């Protein structure tokens, strides 16, 4: 049996008190001319009521962290479920945006984990919401730092000839002007970095230690160098 959200007397904004049934578990598209009340129906009635009932179902402590939603202007709604809204507004979208952050579900999940999570017996960590945030160093995955993607250098592609030195062109992408494309750092600057670790750019790549190769590929913790965009000539 198909279940429905049944709305009677929808009067929010431009809506003139009509009745409507929306089937559960279907993709529903609301169409109409501008100003006909599409957003009022979707956001101000269906979503607001779904969210309101959801908030009523959780405890008062948790509710204080959430936006309160008023009751929509309808005679009656039945069959409504907890709802999330993904807005067409993309102003706040960034590389750290997820469905969770854009809908706010992420905040509820962090709260849920912080309130109802169970610590392991030997843990001294206090369960706080920041612990479950990928934007916090306590909560973020150490590998990708909470971004969900990791940029890595594929040495098999980058190294053209292991027998050559870096200055001679061991790298595939060394430019004629002396810039190394992947880092946009000049050969002299790169040599300064290498020298800070006791080697240089005039040693064949294959003779460098693994640790030295990692410094060339991923950088040094010992020395800071100016880093900027150069035109690639």
Question: Site residues (CB under 5 A) for Zn ion?
Answer: 141, 143-144
Closest to Zn ion by CB, 146 vs 219, is 146
Query: End-to-end distance of the chain based on CA atoms, in angstroms?
Result: 68
The CB-of-139 to Zn ion minimum distance in angstroms stands at 11
- Here the tokens at position 83 are 């709802």
Residue-wise burial string across 122-137, b where 16 or more C-beta atoms lie within 10 A, e elsewhere: eeeeeeebeebbbeee
In angstroms, give the least distance from the CB of 137 to Zn ion.
13
Q: Cβ of residue 143: shortest distance to Zn ion, in angstroms?
A: 5
Rounded (10°) CA dihedral 44, 46, 49, 50: -130
Least distance in Å: CB of 110 to Zn ion?
A: 17
Cα 126 to Cα 18: distance, rounded to the nearest angstrom: 51
Closest to 30 measured CA to CA, from 7, 2, 51: 7
CB 141 → Zn ion: shortest distance, Å? 3
Q: Which is nearer to Zn ion, 99 or 144 (CB)?
A: 144
Length of the chain measured in residues:
233
Say how far apart CA 20 and CA 40 lie, in whole Å.
14
Could you tell me the smallest distance in angstroms from the CB atom of residue 46 to Zn ion?
A: 35
**Is the Cβ–Cβ distance between 135 and 176 less than 8 Å?**
no
Q: What CA–CA distance (Å, rounded) separates 52 from 50?
A: 6
Nearer to Zn ion, 32 or 148 (CB): 148
C-beta nearest to Zn ion: residue: 141
User: Whose Cβ is closer to Zn ion: residue 139's or residue 219's?
Assistant: 139
Of the pair 28, 144, the CB lying nearest Zn ion is at 144
Select 134 or 205, whichever has its Cβ closest to Zn ion.
Answer: 134
Please state the closest distance from residue 206 (CB atom) to Zn ion, in A.
33
Residue 222: both structure tokens together: 């010992």
Nearer to Zn ion, 79 or 148 (CB): 148
The C-alpha angle 76, 81, 84, rounded to 5 degrees, equals: 115
């Amino acid at each position: 049996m198909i279940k429905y959200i049944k709305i009677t007397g929808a009067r929010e904004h431009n809506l003139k008190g009509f009745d409507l049934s929306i089937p559960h578990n279907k993709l529903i598209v609301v169409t109409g001319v501008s100003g006909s009340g599409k957003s009022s129906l979707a956001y101000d009635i269906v979503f607001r009521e779904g969210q309101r009932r959801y908030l009523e179902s959780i405890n008062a402590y948790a509710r204080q962290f959430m936006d309160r939603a008023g009751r929509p202007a309808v005679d009656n709604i039945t069959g409504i479920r907890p709802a999330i809204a993904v807005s067409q507004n993309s102003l706040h979208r960034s590389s750290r945006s997820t469905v969770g952050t854009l809908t706010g579900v992420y905040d509820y999940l962090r709260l849920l984990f912080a309130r109802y999570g169970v610590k392991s017996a030997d843990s001294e960590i206090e369960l706080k919401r920041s612990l479950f945030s990928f934007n916090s160093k306590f909560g973020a995955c150490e590998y990708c730092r909470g971004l969900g993607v990791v940029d890595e250098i594929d040495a098999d592609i980058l190294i053209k000839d292991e027998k050559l030195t870096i200055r001679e062109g061991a790298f595939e992408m060394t430019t004629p002007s002396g810039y190394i494309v992947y880092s946009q750092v000049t050969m002299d600057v790169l040599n300064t970095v290498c020298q800070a670790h006791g080697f240089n750019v005039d040693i064949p790549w294959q003779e460098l230690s693994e640790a030295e190769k990692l410094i060339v590929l991923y950088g040094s913790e010992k020395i800071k160098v100016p880093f900027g965009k150069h035109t690639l000539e």
